[in-house]
Structure 1
Amino acid sequence: MGNTDKFEMIANTYDTPDRMKIAKVSSDAIRQYLVDAKSKKAIDFGCGTGLVGMNLLNEFDSLLFLDTSPNMINQIKQKITDVNNQNVDTLCFDIEKENLSGVHADYVFMAQVLLHIEDVELVLSRLFNVLNEGGHLLIVDFNKNENIVSDMVHNGFNPEELTDIMTKIGYQDIQFKTIYTGSKIFMGHDASMFILDAKKE
């Protein structure tokens, strides 16, 4: 379900005004949950063209942009060159296929990524292993929307159900709230987005 092929094709034209607006909503929401992040390492997981992570570049000591799509990663590399930030790196990697070994972070954030992931529990488990103790996983995604039927993506998530899965994995202090409601923002349908914050003790 990762939809890498699709993202490969649209990488050059991905940054539309609508996507940039949603990215700003997402990054503003993530910023509210950061504590003493200036000394912390972060990963923008499933970063796409980096629309969310680029808004948060100055919040962390270092930031790794990670995506399965080489073309998306190339877009990021261009943006990084433009801003000349030394504490930024990129990695093309598919965590659905293998463990991300040797990489650790204090914050992992993912915006509208989970809906593209087939085995949600597997990926959330692997990200748990990436987090340092005391680290946080921040998920921004769509609330479940029964009007959407697709083979390509999940039709959003029920944060309570996500909480159950994550608690089983070992995440703690899980909290979530709806942060945005918009017109035609999810596959042509009106939808709302939530942010979920979970901690690894």
Structure 2
Amino acid sequence: MGNTDKFEMIANVYDTPERIQIAKVSSEAIRGYLLDSGNKNAIDFGCGTGLVGLDLIHDFLSVLFLDTSPNMIDQINQKIADLHIQNAHTLCFDLEKESLSDLHADYIFMAQVLLHIQDVEHILSRLFHVLNEGGHLLIVDFDKNENITSDLVHNGFDQEKLADMMTKIGYRDIVSKTFYTGRNIFMGQDASMFVLDSKK
């Protein structure tokens, strides 16, 4: 996944009050789209230190925390151990480089992850194959923001264009909305965030 080296360096200081707050509103936005999820398996894709996934851990039968950064996985493993969580697993893996034919889930959620991925269509296609039939992919990310220019990340996403790309891949019943606006939350700029729900 993009920017793994950067996340390797900041893993042990990642959980700032600002990031914890953004994770909280992100998990609440995701929770609003969950249906009968108590007997479903989920993947927190690009989980980082697990801020979003841990907030949703009791909404699912099990959650797999997946990230490309070994240090981030170490952080989430420590939290799982400290909190005595029984229904969580972790996997350090780069889905951009390799596919996982034996990995399947009813729900995949990703919060502020897509902006770090160079080839968005490629990763969304791979996630489509990971989803069980009828499963949901939930994306939380930043709306397109022309004030941001970066070689490291996308400057957010146009919800309509993202939905069009996902429709071509095979996703259906796509709905999205902007749900949060904050000061200095995206590379030092004021920005808004959207949540998108889609189905296989």
Question: What's 2:15 paired with?
Answer: 15
SS in structure 2 of the partner of residue 198 of structure 1: strand
Shift, 1:88, TM fit: 0.8
SS in 1 for 2:167: helix
Question: How big is each residue's C-alpha offset from its partner over 1:62-83, in whole Å with a ceiling of 9 and x where there is no partner?
Answer: 1000000000000000000011
Over residues 128-181 of structure 1, what are the superposed CA-to-partner deviations in whole Å (9 max), with x where a residue is unaligned? 000001100000000000010000000000010000100000000000000100
Question: 1:118 matched to which residue of 2?
Answer: 118
Give the deviation of 1:22 after TM superposition: 0.2
Give the aligned CA root-mean-square deviation in angstroms: 0.6
Distance 1:119 1:96 in 2: 8
- Distance (whole Å) between structure 2 residues aligned to residue 23 and residue 100 of structure 1: 27
Structure 1 residues 94-105: aligned runs within 5 Å: 94-105=94-105
Question: What does 1:1-201 correspond to in 2, within 5 Å?
Answer: 2-200=2-200
- Structure 1, unaligned stretches of length 5 or more? none
Q: Identify unmatched segments of 5+ residues in structure 2.
A: none
Q: Secondary structure at the match of 1:136?
A: strand
CA-to-aligned-CA distance 1:40-80 (integer Å, 9 cap, x gap): 00000000000000100100001000000000000000000
For residues 80 and 118 of structure 2, the distance between their equivalents in structure 1, rounded to whole angstroms, comes to 30
Distance 1:33 1:100 in 2: 26
1:157 and 1:95 map into 2 onto residues whose CA distance is 21
Q: CA deviation at 1:87?
A: 1.4
User: TM-score of the superposition, structure 1-length normalised?
Assistant: 0.99
Counterparts of 1:28 and 1:127 in 2: how far apart (Å)? Answer: 22
Q: What's the TM-score, normalizing by structure 2?
A: 0.99
The whole-number CA distance in structure 2 between the counterparts of 1:7 and 1:54 is 19
1:85 shift after superposition: 1.6
Q: Which amino acid aligns with 1:59?
A: D
